[in-house]
Structure 1
Amino acid sequence: MLETFTLDQLRGLITVIEEGSFSAAARKLHRVQSAISTAMANLEAQLGVAIWDRSTKVARLTDQGQTILAAARKVCSEVDALRQLAAGMALGLEAQVSLCVDILFPLAALVDLCTQFRAEFPSVDLRVDTQTMTGVSARVIDGSATIGVASPMGVTAGLERKVLTTIQMVPVVAPTHPLAAVRGPISTTRLRDAIQLVLSELQGEGHADQAVLSSRTWRVRDLHTKHALLRAGLGWGNLPTHLVQDDLRARRLVAIRVEAWGEDEHTLYLSAVYRGDATFGPAHRWLLGYLEQVCLRDAAPVRPR
C-alpha cells in the first residue's frame, strides 16, 4: 500500500520541471532548496517508483516519472477546480446555467457568448438548446431552460420579457429562380403559386403562420436546411441577414421585394424571456447582461437590395 503523499509534493514536482531545476523551483515556491530536494526524495520513496533520472545532474524525469508528472498535473488541476467550485457556491454561484435560443439568433453571437461565459465562470456548466417560435418559451416554462431568447412569435404570455435588439429578415431566392428576374415589388398574386419555404416549430404550443403568402409551402424545422433549399432554387422565403450577407454579396442568393410587406416589414425583435419566479445567481445575471451586448453587435440590420 502506498504511503501518503501530499498536494504540496505534487506541486513541487510540477514546479521543478517547469522551472528546470531544484534551485529555481525553490525560488519560485519561496522555499530553501534542501526542502524541495527532501520533498521530491520522499515522494519518490512513497510512490515506490523511480521518478528521477540520476544519470545526469539536471532535473530530468524517467519515463515512469513523466507518467507520474502527467497524473500530478491532472490531480492538481482537479483540486484547483474543486476549490474554485466550492468558493463560487459559497458566494451563491450556480453549478449550471441553461439557455434556450431561437434558431434566428446569430451563431457568431452565441459562440462569443459561450466563450466569454467560460472565461467568466469556468466552474459553471452551460446548457444550450435551440428551438423555433414558442418552443423557446416552452423550454423556459417547463424549467429545462432558465433564460430564453425568443422572436416575437415565440413569446408566450406569463413570462417576463426584456427586449434585447432587432434582427433583419430578408426575402430571398436563388438567382436561377423565376422570381429573381422580377424588377420591383412582387405582387401577392405572383407569389401565390410559388413554393414558399417556411419554418415549422420544433416544440411548443403551436403558432399561427406568420408572413406566409403562398398557397404552396414546404415546411422545414431547421434554419440551415431552409437556407440550403433556397440556395438550390427550390422556393422563396425569409432568412436573417446575418446568415445570408455573404450569399447576397456573392449572388448565390438574390433579395426580392414583396409588395404586401412594404419596406419595414422585416424587422423582428429578439427578447430575453424568463419566469417571474426565477431566482438568478451571478452567472445567470451576467448571462442576461452580456446577451444585450453580444446580440446587439452581431444582429445589426443589413438590407442589401
Structure 2
Amino acid sequence: MQPNPTLDQLQVFVAVAETGSFSAAARRMNRSQSVISYTIANLEAQLELQLFERGGTREPRLTASGTAMLEDARRMISVLQNLRSRAEGLKQGLEAEIAVAVDVTLPSPVLIAVLTAFQLQFPTVSLRLHVGALGVVWDLVLKKRADIGIGGQPLEAYDELIMCRLGQTAMIPVAAPEHPLALYEGPVPLAVIRDHIQLVITDLSEQTKGRDFGVFAYRTWRLTDVATKHSLMLAGLGWGGLPKWMVKDDIAEGRLVPLDLEPYPEQAYNLVALHPVEEAVGPAATWMIERFKEELEKFG
C-alpha cells in the first residue's frame, strides 16, 4: 500500500497546475526545478495516476486525472492549513468553540456585522448561537450552556455573573393600521387597551416564570418567538411591543403604526454582556463583546 500524499506534495502539485510549469512553480516555492519534478513524480507514483502530460519541450499540462484531482488537492491543503491554524490558536489560548446567547431585541444588522467580522477574525473558532427572549439569555449563561450572553439587564443581581453595558435598544407598541387601537384618536386609555388582544412573548426559562412585563390586556396570546409575533401583528391579529429596529421599515411603509398608549410608552433599555464570574473569557469571546459594543454604538 502506497503512503498517503503529504501536504508538501499537494502544495507542489497545485503550484505547478496554477503556474503552468515546473520552473515557475520552483520560483514560487523558492526551490530548484529538479526538486519540483521529483516531487510530482513521487506523487504520481503514490497515486498511480499521471497528473501532467510532459511531451517534448512543451510545458506540462494537466491530464484529465490531474484536473479531477486538483480541487481535491486544494481542499486538502485548506483543511490541513486550518488544522495547523487551529493548533496554533489552541496553544495560544484561543477557544476551539464559543457559545453565545443573544436576546431577540438585539438588532439583526448588529448581530450580522459582528458575526461577519468574527468569521474573518477567528476562522478556526466554531460558534454555537442561541437566540431567546426575556430571561433565556441569563438562564443559559447561569447554567453555563453559553459562554457569553448579550441581552437585557437581569432583573436581579447575580453574584455568579459579570456584566458590562454595551448600548441601548428600544421597544415600541405597534399594530396594523386598521386595528382599533391604531384608529383611536388621541392617547389610548388603559380601559380601552384591556379589551383588545395583546400578543406577548413567553419566557421559556425559569428566570421570569409567573411574571409579566408590559402586559395590560385582559386577553393575551402567548407566543414563544418574536418572528411569529411580528407576522401576526402585520396580519392585524392583535397588538404588542416589538423592537423598534425591527418595525422601522414597517412603520415607514405603513404596514404597522406606532400606538399612543397611556400606560405603554416607547421604552429604551440597556443591552449588556454577561459571562460567568469564575470562567475566564477567552480572546475570541473578549473580542466579540467589544465588537458588539462598537457595532451598537454605530447602529444607534
TM-score (norm 2): 0.93
The equivalent residue for 2:114 is 113
Which of 165, 168, 184 is the equivalent residue of 1:166?
168
SS of 1:260's equivalent in the other structure is coil
Q: 1:255: which partner in 2?
A: 258
* Equivalent residue number for residue 238 of structure 1: 241
What pairs up with 1:215-294 in 2 under 5 angstroms? Answer: 215-262=218-265, 265-294=266-295
Equivalence map 1:138-177=2 (5 Å): 138-152=139-153, 157-158=158-159, 159-177=161-179
Matches within 5 A, 1:166-205: 166-205=168-207
Deviation at 1:296? 2.9
Task: Return the letter of the residue paired with 1:15.
Answer: A
**Cα displacement (A) at 1:278:** 1.4
Q: Give the superposition deviation at 1:112.
A: 1.4
* 1:71 Cα offset (Å): 2.4
**Which residue identity lines up with residue 88 of structure 2 in the other structure?**
A
202-211 or 25-34: bigger deviation:
202-211
1:155 shift after superposition: 6.2
Cα pair 1:169 1:240 within 8 Å, conserved? yes
Cα distance in 2 for partners of 1:205, 1:240 equals: 21
Offset from partner CA, 1:128-178 (integer Å, 9 cap, x none): 101111111111111110101122466663322211111121111101111
Match of 1:35 in 2: 35
1:40-64 deviation digits (Å, cap 9, x = unpaired): 1222123211111345823322222
Aligned residue in 2 for 1:15: 15
Select between 224-233 and 288-297 the one with higher mean Cα deviation: 288-297
**Compared CA separation, residues 152 and 297, structure 1 to 2 (3 A):** same
Tell me how far 1:201 sits from its aligned partner: 0.9
1:133 matched residue in structure 2: 134
- 1:295, distance to aligned residue in structure 2 (A): 2.6
Residue 103 of structure 1 is matched in structure 2 by 104
Alpha carbons 1:2, 1:48 under 8 Å: kept: no
- Is the CA contact (8 Å cut-off) linking 1:133 and 1:155 kept in structure 2? no
Match for residue 52 of structure 1?
52
For structure 1, the 5+ residue unaligned runs are: 301-305
Alpha-carbon separation, structure 1, partners of 2:256 and 2:5? 65
Q: For the residues of structure 2 that align with 1:4 and 1:199, how far apart are their CA atoms?
A: 56
How many Å separate the matches in 1 of 2:223 and 2:154? 17
Whichever residue aligns with residue 272 of structure 1, its letter is A
8 Å contact kept, 1:95–1:125: yes
Aligned to 1:209: 212
Which residue of the partner structure matches residue 64 of structure 2? 63
Using the TM superposition, name which of 189-198 and 47-56 deviates more. 47-56
1: CA distance, partners of 2:146 / 2:156: 14
Contact kept in structure 2, 1:3 and 1:47, CA below 8 Å: no
Q: Distance in 1 between matches of 2:125 and 2:144?
A: 18
Aligned letter for 2:19?
A: E
Q: Deviations over 1:94-153 (max 9, x none)?
A: 111110011111122111111111111111111110111111111111111010112246
**Structure 1's 182 and 64: CA in aligned 2 closer, same or farther, altered over 3 A?**
same
**Would the aligned equivalents of 1:229 and 1:235 in 2 still touch at CA under 8 Å?**
yes
Q: Which secondary structure does the structure 2 equivalent of 1:212 belong to?
A: coil
2:206 match: secondary structure? coil
Please give the secondary structure, in 1, of the residue aligned with 2:51: coil
Give the drift of 1:8.
1.8
Q: Label 1:30 to 1:271 Cα distance change in 2 as closer, same or farther (>3 A).
A: same
Aligned residues of 2:173 and 2:264 also touching (Cα < 8 A)? no
Q: Which amino acid aligns with 2:215?
A: V
Q: 1: distance between equivalents of 2:146 and 2:155? A: 14
Distance in 2, matches of 1:257 and 1:114, equals 36
Q: Amino acid of the residue matched to residue 260 of structure 1?
A: P
Shift of 1:67: 2.8
Task: Report the residue type matching 2:148 in the other structure.
Answer: I
- Following the alignment from structure 2 to structure 1, what is the Cα–Cα distance between the partners of residues 3 and 269? 66
2:225 and 2:218 mapped to 1: Cα distance?
Answer: 21
1:169-223 per-position Cα deviation (integer Å, ceiling 9, x unaligned): 1111101111111232111111011111111112233341111111111111110
Task: Confirm or deny: 8 A CA contact 2:103 2:152 kept in the other structure.
Answer: yes
Q: Is the 8 A contact 2:167 2:271 kept in 1?
A: yes
Which stretches in structure 2 are left out of the alignment for 5+ residues?
none
CA shift for structure 1 position 266: 1.0
Distance of 1:195 and 1:257 partners within structure 2: 16
